[in-house]
Amino acid sequence: MMRRVIFCLISFLAKDGRAAESAASGKDNVEIIIDAGSTGSRMYVFHTGADGTLVHSKMVGKKKPGLSSFAETPGGALVPLQSLFSKFLAEEGPRFGGSTIDVKIFGTAGMRLLSDEKRSSVWRAVGDGLNSYFVRRDDLQAEHDITFKLLKTETIAGETEGLFALMGVNYLVQQTKTGAQPCERYGMLDLGGSSTQIAIPSDCNHITSGNSFVRSFPESGMELTRALVNRMFTPTQRRSCYFTGYETSSGGADARPCYDLVREAMQSEPGSPYYSSEDFRKLSTSKLSFVAVSGYTYVTSFASWLLAKHAPELAFVASYPAPMLSAIKEAATQICALPWSEVEKELGHEFTGRSKLPHRCFEMNYIWTLLHVYMSGCDDCKNINFTEEINGSEVEWPIGAWLYFSKQRTMSQHQKEEL
């Protein structure tokens, strides 16, 4: 199943023609936000009406590799971005004919890990290259008379990424409520390849950096943590972190539990979530509701799909997407006990390709260990919902970024009207 288009967030215009006319009028705002992540860049388009309502939004597509992979060859970073703009023009060009479209590109974990010099080189190449590309106006851009305006190319802090995600989650949740229902706070859990974030609002009606708890752990993503475990332990020691027979001929059932190795690896890194345990306890995280997105959902969704075939009696399968933490732990043990010779044939899951398949055993163990820390050891807790969408809308941080900048525009307009 393809990742769904972000629809139904606030309102629709019934016909594309009306939307195009509205977008070209100059009263509306059309912007593209690109999430330049560590594994690839995702393009989103948001069309906001003159009254501030969201007319149309869509995740246009994703292109690999991530911009950070061009640290040694900055000029190459332009290629995946041009491909995304070509896709946008082919699919969305007719809708936005005659429009001026603002473009914002935000780098996340992968770009944060680069040196200042290399990061600047990549952004300089992206800025110069895209501005030249926009001026040249390819055939589709000229045909639809679209003008792109590059406003931002910058690397955002992990805390900013977490805040945007938190705003997006709570915004989407509130759209499912009726006017009579009270606002309810939802925390956000995000897990990527390089970093991970946790964010909790104090006021679901007004979320800001000042009144929210937001923590980003820049080197505690799935890929970097797996690499750390691989460095710290031999294949024999870590065999419980991989499917039976994947790295060694012997099974992993009698090995030291993978979550013990993960915990030890976390303890070896002063900047890991393990050393913020007291903060989580004070926040009573086990009593709050959370939405877990990105890597959390990709991994647990795969586990649910695979175990439904091999161990359908597990509590994890029956209770997903909101299982108890103890059920996640049991599922991690069960999935890792499956023979790699069987698992390597399981290529039908939407979020798990051939390159990620061998890592899902480790990642399930990491997720349980991480959540065990976040929830202060509450294995009976059932307060986390693993999902990629809310009310048919994709849950990603760019929607929070759209909301943030939309509010800024509204405030600026009000200030101008008062002058």
Task: Locate the domains of the chain by residue range.
Answer: 16-156, 160-390
pLDDT exceeds cutoff 50 at 97? yes
Q: Model confidence at 77, in pLDDT bands (50, 70, 90)?
A: very high
Cα(first)–Cα(last) distance of the chain, in Å? 51
Handedness of CA 78, 405, 191, 228 (dihedral sign): positive
Crossing angle between the packed helical segments 325-336 and 295-310, to the nearest 10 degrees: 60
Mean pLDDT score, 365-386: 97
Handedness of CA 366, 370, 376, 378 (dihedral sign): negative
pLDDT per residue as tens digits for the range 347-367: 999 999 999 999 999 999 999
3-class secondary structure, 215:
strand
pLDDT per residue as tens digits for the range 178-237: 666 677 889 999 999 999 999 999 988 889 889 999 999 999 999 999 999 999 999 999
Mean pLDDT score, 237-264: 84
Class of 16-156 in CATH: alpha beta
Q: Model confidence at 21, in pLDDT bands (50, 70, 90)?
A: low
- What pLDDT does 206 receive? 85
Q: Model confidence at 12, in pLDDT bands (50, 70, 90)?
A: very low
| 394 φ/ψ sector (left φ>0, alpha ψ -120 to 50, else beta) | beta
Say if 16-156 and 160-390 have the same CATH topology. yes
Mean pLDDT score, 362-373: 98
Give 160-390's CATH code, choosing from 3.40.109.10, 3.30.420.150, 3.20.20.105, 3.30.1360.70. Answer: 3.30.420.150
pTM: 0.83
Taking CA atoms, 186 is separated from 212, 278, 317, in Å, by 11, 20, 24
- What pLDDT does 5 receive? 39
Count the neighbouring beta carbons within 10 Å of the beta carbon of residue 135: 9
- What pLDDT does 50 receive? 85
pLDDT per residue as tens digits for the range 336-346: 999 999 999 99
Cα distance between residue 191 and residue 108, in whole Å: 12
